Amino acid sequence: MFVDTIFAPGRIEYIKKEKQKGCIFCAGSSREEGLVVHEESTCFVIMNKYPYTSGHLMVVPCRHISDINDADGGELEELMNLTARSVAVLKKAFNPEGFNIGMNLGKAAGAGVDAHLHMHVVPRWYGDTNFMSTIGGARVIPEDLETTSDLLRTLFQDIKGDRR
């Protein structure tokens, strides 16, 4: 049986690098690397540095909290409003056929960052889970994060709270 070899050289940077101390959302490299695409008073929207699909966003409270029950009413309202606005922005940017939206609360639930609450907004297309991810263990993202984040920053300015 012949087995294809698929290389994902971008992952080696993550594997080898010294793991950052502290929260990646509060004082982390994600902010320094320009991955934040929009910010409001209690929450911000950031690109996922290791996305499942193009445009994979996270909506994050500015305040360092890990439990959804620790969020106040204003934070919860802004979290949901920015999630809806993120969907509108991603529809305009990439015309996805669907979305996965959700939180992983705690390590047992699959949270990669369990110390800081965040909502994933993942655009989806038919066939985006193909042999590359299911067999090859690699994802193909057709556009670099810098180009995508520049586009999304512009769209967040164009698409205000009305989400149209």
What's the DSSP call for residue 59?
Answer: E
According to the per-residue pLDDT averaged within each range, which of 13-17, 21-25, 100-104, 155-159 is highest?
Answer: 100-104
The pTM of this model reads: 0.81
- What's the pLDDT at 39? 94
Q: Which residue ranges make up each domain of the chain?
A: 23-158
Q: pLDDT tens digit string along 62-81?
A: 999 999 999 999 999 999 99
Question: Is pLDDT at 41 greater than 80 in this prediction?
Answer: yes
**Alpha carbon distance 76, 144 (integer Å):** 31
Q: Is 118 a catalytic residue?
A: yes
Given 38, 116, 118, 120, the catalytic residue = 118
Q: How far is CA 125 from CA 53, 96, 130, 159, in A?
A: 9, 6, 11, 22
Q: Write out pLDDT tens, residues 117-143.
A: 999 999 999 877 655 554 456 667 777
- Considering the domain 23-158 in this protein, what is its CATH number? 3.30.428.10
